[in-house]
Structure formats: structure tokens, C-alpha cells
Structure 1
Amino acid sequence: MSTREWLRRLVAFDTTSRNSNLALIETVRDALAAQGVTSELSYAPEGGKANLFATLPAHDGATQGGIVLSGHTDVVPVDGQDWGSDPFSLTEKDGKLYGRGTADMKGFIAASLALVPHFLSLRRTKPLHLAFSYDEEVGCLGAPVMLAALKQRGVRPEGCVVGEPTGMRVVVAHKGMNLYRCRVHGKAAHSSLTTRGCNAIEHAARLICHLRDLADQFKSQGPYDECYDVPFTTLSTNLIAGGIAVNTIPDACEFSYEFRNLPGMSPDGIQRRVEAYIQTELLPRMRRDHDAARVEIEAMPVAVLALEASEREAITRLVRALTGDKGTSKVSYGTEGGQFQNAGIPAVVCGPGHIEQAHRADEYIDIAQLTACEDFLRKLAGSLVD
């Protein structure tokens, strides 16, 4: 089956993160099994989703070491988007293939699957691994389950290529993403009796302003890495809700904030600064109004770890040599690369398509990008031949 045929098949599965991906995963498992390749599935806690990890052994049967080709199977919603074609039916026009997930990132998965017969035909001295995950789009939740299963089985690849859309450039670093939900609890009262209440919205606003002050500090003082389009750590408050009526002092306010940290900058250190402000300044002020006032912070289940690939690692040198890309590319969006690196598997990001086409209506990938990806993957597999 060609890359385009595989892509058509993959796009037809509505693997929006809120849905199960099992039909897609089982289709891939069965197609690999028909070629003599065994897949290991690791399931989400609720059982409705799964990761797939398959090993194409070396010519002598070796399964240790080698290189992972990594991709996520879930996609973002199409709700409210004005598409010119069915988002779950591959449509070709003017050298482009349209459909949800074509760029992010079923194109890379399709190319990898289409080339399995070629990979198997080579007398490789090292294995190739396929790693297809669930729930990357909602916080990289699936990859840790897969990596834990690999560790339990004693599988330790030597490197990983994460095929997120980079225009086939080599991306060596990206920021981490950390998401928190904050609930501020005050005391309700009639708005004409302000001294008898504790206004949760107003005190939440003080904390939000503190977050903005931290963001401004990172912007003005760094640390900086000019290889990023936004060269410093960012913080932002993006959701808020509170209050029940215009004439009632609100007893509760809830908001969510995130920060995207540069590699090497401790996310725990940033969060400790937030919590120190709450304990030393915000809560004492709130409790002057209401002694039972409290602030709750919940870390959301997001596992987007920062990535910073070493130029000394074999996988970095290899992918640079195969693509001819000598530039230093770093991005602010997240991938599963940081999780592989954290598990002791050096990783770089390199895949077909462009992030500008992802997540939008009429998402597409250029056919030329898929061709470039196929060429790269053939060279990558060829590098494992003695």
C-alpha cells in the first residue's frame, strides 16, 4: 500500500482526542501482522485507547537498540471550522492532500507504514521500531504509558525521530508546557455589604496579575534563547469563571494558567514562585476578610516535557547528515520528544508538512513533503545496513 493509500485510510478514522483510536490502531496492528511484524499494545487506563509499538528486527533477529519512528494517532477537533471538503476524507487539489491530520501527523505515520516492506527487505544490522501513541494533542498522555511498558520489557532503542511537521527540517529543541487549574474560595455576601464578604474574583485577579508580573519579568530579564520565535519562558491565564449575579459578592472563582518553559528552566521552580506568593501575600490578605478563605491549585494531566537534543548524540548527527540540514531550529510548540529523551532515548523532531497548516480548517500536506519524507526514511533505514 502506498503512502497516499495509507494516508487516505488513516484520515478516514475520526481519531479526535475525545474519541477512541482503537479502530486505527487495530488496523495498523493487523496490517503489520500480515507482514510478519508483531505489535505490542499499551492501553489507556480506561481501556478505550491504545499505543502501538512494533519492532522490525535486524537481519539476525536482534530487537535491542535501533531507531524509533514516532507519531501520534489523535487529531484536534473540526468543530466550528469551515472546511471546503470532508475533513475525514482525503482530498487532492493542486499538489496538496487535504484532511484532518494530514500534516499533524498522519502523513508521517502513512509514509512509515508504506515503507515497511522496504524496511523488511533490507539486511539491517539494527532494528527499526514504530511507536504510535494516543492523546498527544491533549497533553502527551499516551506516550508515558508506552514508555513505561518499554521499560518494563527492557526495550531500549538508541534514538528516536518524532515525525511532527517541521518541513523536513531538524528541530533539536522545544519548550515544555505546564498547565494548572486554580480555585479561589472566598465568602458570598450581598454586594451592598462588601465588608461581610470575601470577593473571590478580586483576589483571583491579584494572583493573575502576579502571574503576568512573572511573565513580564521573564520577558525583560530572561533567560533567553534567540533560536525560538518567542525566546523566553511564557506564562498566560487563558480561562476564567466566577460569580453568580451582579449584586452578589462571589465566593468562588476558577481559572487556568499555563507556562511554557525553556529547556533547562525548572517548571517546578516556576510553580514554587507562584505558590510562595499565595502563601505569603495572597492568603493573609484574603483571611483578613474571611478566616476560612483558601486557594487550591491542581496540576493538570499534561506531560509535555521540554526537549533539548545534544548535537553529540548519534541520532542528531545522523538525521542532520541525511537531511543536509545544518541549521539550529527550535520551536515553541510541544512534542513527545521530551518524553523519549527523559526516558533515556535521545530524540530529534523531523517530519513532513508545516505546523502552520495544522489544527486549522482545510488542513493539508504538500505531496512533495510526503515524497521528501519517504526519501528520508529510505536513507534512515539504509544507514542501518552493514
Structure 2
Amino acid sequence: MWAAGAINTLAVERAVVTVTELTRELVSIPSYEDETEAGDFIEEWLEREVGGDATIIRDEAGNVIARKGDPAAETLALVGHHDVVEPATPQVRQEDDGEYVVEERDGRLYGRGTADMKGAVAAAMLAFRDAEPAGELAVASFVGEEVGGVGARHAIDEGFAPEYAVVGEGSTGYSSPGVTDVAVAHKGRRGSTITARGVAAHASEAEAGENAIYWATEAVSLVRDLEPPAVEVADETLEGSVVVTEIDGGTAMNVVPDCCEVTVDERTVPGERAPLERVEELEGVEWTVDQDLPPMECTDEAFAETVFEAVDAAQPVAPELVTKPHATDAGWLAAAGTACVVCGPAEPGEAHTETESVSIDVLERCRAIYRQVAESWLA
């Protein structure tokens, strides 16, 4: 077990090449809409590198989950996902059957998925291979995170229930540039539709109908007046939001509309929701929740402190406990009872961009952090 601040120099030097090469290989594999090949790569790598020391499964959804250590002990999971959002044209090598472009320059790797989040998955795979875990250690790479946590939800439904998890989404650059922090909470997202239904009529006889757009605008006014929720976490105020983002109604210039739909984007916070259901008190209005990605808050202070100490030991600048504005698979795990923190190499503004990239030094740092947490979290 490593003492705080005493990260093994040889282990870090070994990772200088290995974590970079593993990230390059994983990033180059297309995994937008079809994650099969990337899942194959992760599964085969774990079989080859860890083999009989671990139990490795590939579930029906395509998730790859491996475990090693004491199965009777509590479980710590290193969690990531290997799906990506649609790559931009420059991020795809057209002459190589759609292989993704990966470039290294100025100490960074560029390419779709480097930051979100195959770099963190590579770091977790290496930490899983090299660690002598304090209890049972799992590494999980999920599918479908970018489309609502499909893989995480399937795994949880099938019994994936670690007591603790480090989710490798981005937490670098929140307190200061280049500093990897520990996120102990993040917002969720609830997307919903307000539907107003009226009665169609010719616009020259408007009184014969019921104008759905008028009813919808009453709902919009109600939404505008709602007070977004806010909670205090890690000496920060985590503020939610409620925003009307789309409106669609009417069929012709001379027809009183009988239907109007309004889309609402709501950023939720742990334990609080805006009372959007109040729109259903209005005449002719229905409210439907289309997507509900849960927020996350780590209430296990001892676990958060253990991760914080590992992060502090891995870098010369002191990290901070922070919050994230984005939903992650940590929300699904936390809702199922897992104590989660988010700690990973991606920086704000990198994910989902045409110039997506990740720092190689920070990849190496995260690989060391994950290993130290795996070996010290039950101490």
C-alpha cells in the first residue's frame, strides 16, 4: 500500500508510454452508434493482461466488467464508458475504413474520445491490471452513456452494485488550469415536453376554436417564473436551471392551432426539483418527462477524503473538492446506492468538440491516482 505522497516513480515512468499507447489504440476504434469493436478491444486486453487473476464479463448490453481481489470484501469500481458522440469529419480517417484520427502534439492527444472518455478508460484499465486491491476491485466500461446511460442502467438492473466508485469523467481544470480535482456532486438533466391542446378553427372565426398556442404561452410564463433549485455542496452553490428551448405549433397562417408543444431543459441538483408539474394545473396542458438523468452527491466523506488524498499526492498543486455542471453515469450509480466521486483527465470545454484533446501528463496522473485509491481505500 502506498503512503500519501509516495507514488512509485517506476510505475509512473512505465505509464509514460503505456497509457499513451493504450489510449491511442482505444481512441482509434470507431464507437459512435456501434461500440462493439471498442468493447472487443477492452475485453481482449483485459483477458490478455489480467487473465486468470480476474473475472471478466461482457453483458448483453455490451458493457465490459472485470473484477479481482477479495469477492467477500466491499467493492470499489473504476468506471468509464467507451461510446462517443458523432465525430467531426477531420476526426475520421476516410481511407482506413473509418478509423478515428489520433494525433499527438504539444503533450496532448487529439481525437474523438480522447477526453470523453477513452483516455480515462485506458488509465483505469492499467490501474486495474497493476493494483493489489485493498478489497474487491472492479473496472467497468459502459456503452450508451452519451444516449442516457443505457449501459449503466442495464448493469445496475443486472446486479452491478459496487459500494464505491470513481467515475473517470473530467474533473481537471475546475479549481485551476491543469489541476485534477475531485468532483463530489454534479447536476442532472430532466428534459420534458409541455403539450397544449386546443380546438382548430378558421382564423376568420377564431372564437369558434381554442388557441393552443395561447395556452402554451401561459405555460411558458409559468416556467419563466419558477425559481430554479440550488443546494450547497463542497462550499459551492450548485444551481439548477429551467429553460424553454423549443416551441412548435400551428399548421397554417389562417388556422387557429389545436396543438402546441414546448420543450423544457431542466438542470437538476441533488435533492431538489423545480415544480414543473404545476403546468398541468393550466387548462388544456399536459406535461411529459422525456429524459431524466439523475444528479449525484457523495455523502460519504471518508471515501471522498481517501480519493482526495490520492489526488493530492499525485500532483504538485493542491486540488479541491468541486462540483460539475454535467450529468454522468455517477448519477445512475449514486441513485442505486453507490458512493461516487468523479475524477478524470478531461478539462472543461474539451468534450464533444472538433478539437477534442487530453493532456498526456494528466492521463499518467489519473492512472497513478486510480491505482493508489484501489490500494488504499479500505485502510
Counterpart residue number, 1:309: 298
Note closer, same or farther for the CA distance 1:311–1:157 as it changes in structure 2 (3 Å cut).
Answer: closer
What's the offset of the Cα at 1:253?
1.6
Confirm or deny: 8 A CA contact 1:100 1:363 kept in the other structure: yes
Match of 2:151 among 137, 142, 145: 142
Counterpart residue number, 2:59: 42
Confirm or deny: 8 A CA contact 1:183 1:254 kept in the other structure: yes
Note closer, same or farther for the CA distance 1:141–1:362 as it changes in structure 2 (3 Å cut).
Answer: same
Counterpart residue number, 1:323: 311
What number of residue pairs does the alignment pair up? 343
CA RMSD of aligned residues (A): 2.6
Counterpart residue number, 1:296: 286
Unaligned runs of 5+ in 1: 45-49, 284-293
Counterpart residue number, 1:276: 278
Q: Which amino acid aligns with 2:288?
A: E
Identity of aligned residues (%): 29
Note closer, same or farther for the CA distance 1:14–1:256 as it changes in structure 2 (3 Å cut).
Answer: farther
The C-alpha deviation readout for 1:37-56, integer Å capped at 9, x for no partner, is 33223334xxxxx2222102
What's the offset of the Cα at 1:298?
2.2
Counterpart residue number, 1:161: 166
Alpha-carbon distance in 2 for matches of 1:114, 1:8: 14
**1:355 partner SS:** coil
Alpha-carbon distance in 1 for matches of 2:234, 2:75: 30
What's the offset of the Cα at 1:339?
2.0
TM-score of the two chains, using structure 1 as the length reference: 0.81
Confirm or deny: 8 A CA contact 1:6 1:113 kept in the other structure: no
The C-alpha deviation readout for 1:259-306, integer Å capped at 9, x for no partner, is 2222121x3xx3xx4333422xx21xxxxxxxxxx433322243x212
Unaligned runs of 5+ in 2: 1-16, 94-98, 173-179, 313-317
Confirm or deny: 8 A CA contact 1:185 1:295 kept in the other structure: yes
Alpha-carbon distance in 2 for matches of 1:142, 1:205: 38
TM-score of the two chains, using structure 2 as the length reference: 0.82
Match of 1:3 among 8, 12, 19: 19
Q: Does residue 141 of structure 2 align to residue 127 of structure 1?
A: no
Counterpart residue number, 2:209: 197
Q: Does residue 251 of structure 2 align to residue 244 of structure 1?
A: yes
Confirm or deny: 8 A CA contact 2:190 2:291 kept in the other structure: no
Alpha-carbon distance in 2 for matches of 1:82, 1:355: 22
**2:84 partner SS:** coil
Q: Does residue 254 of structure 2 align to residue 254 of structure 1?
A: no
Counterpart residue number, 2:37: 23
**2:59 partner SS:** strand
Alpha-carbon distance in 2 for matches of 1:63, 1:184: 55
Q: Does residue 355 of structure 2 align to residue 367 of structure 1?
A: no
Q: Which amino acid aligns with 1:42?
A: D
Which has the larger strand fraction?
2
Note closer, same or farther for the CA distance 1:13–1:318 as it changes in structure 2 (3 Å cut).
Answer: same
Match of 2:219 among 194, 200, 207: 207
